Amino acid sequence: MGSIVQISVSRGGVPKRSVASAEITTLGISGDAHAHAHIHGGPRKAILILTSEGIDELAAEGFALYPGALGENLTTRGIDRRGMRAGQRYRTPNVVLELTQIRVPCEQLDIYGSGICPAVYDAQVKAGDPASPRWGLSGFYACVLVSGVIRTGDPLQLAEEAA
């Protein structure tokens, strides 16, 4: 079982700022916006999830990252990014999310260094190969199956494996 380390929102773009709790709906976190709504957001990309362990790995490679920096809505601890797959369902006390796809990073992340995109996403990840050492570093989009309030510190557990 993991937990929610940080909930993050912005008026659009990166970084996102921390909030203690938030209402999650089928369109994402109330109060969160996307700078490029034609690319991000919508029901299938309502929430972006990254692991704090992945952020720590990237910081160890020299990228000045912290929770919310990469535009994620939920930063987790205790969930292995290498085991995350589209179709998995994760539950908090009030919300159920389903991973829909791995995130393809964009040049907006270059503010953290021109090498950030290849550091989080490679040809293996693009091909859907979880054996890539980069698997999950860019984060996963999720749709919201059950709406509700989420709080920093909430437990997060895998509720159902991908089919």
Residues of the chain with pLDDT under 50: none
Say if residue 107 is exposed, middle or buried (CB neighbours under 10 Å; 0-12, 13-18, 19+). exposed
CA atoms within 13 A on the CB side of 58: 29
pLDDT number for residue 34: 72
pLDDT number for residue 13: 82
pLDDT number for residue 26: 95
Tell me the per-residue pLDDT of 67-85, one tens digit each, with 9 for 90 and over. 999 999 999 999 999 999 9
pTM of the full structure = 0.94
Domains of the chain: 2-156 (2.40.33.20)
pLDDT number for residue 162: 64
pLDDT number for residue 37: 64
Residue 24 one-letter amino acid: I
pLDDT number for residue 127: 97
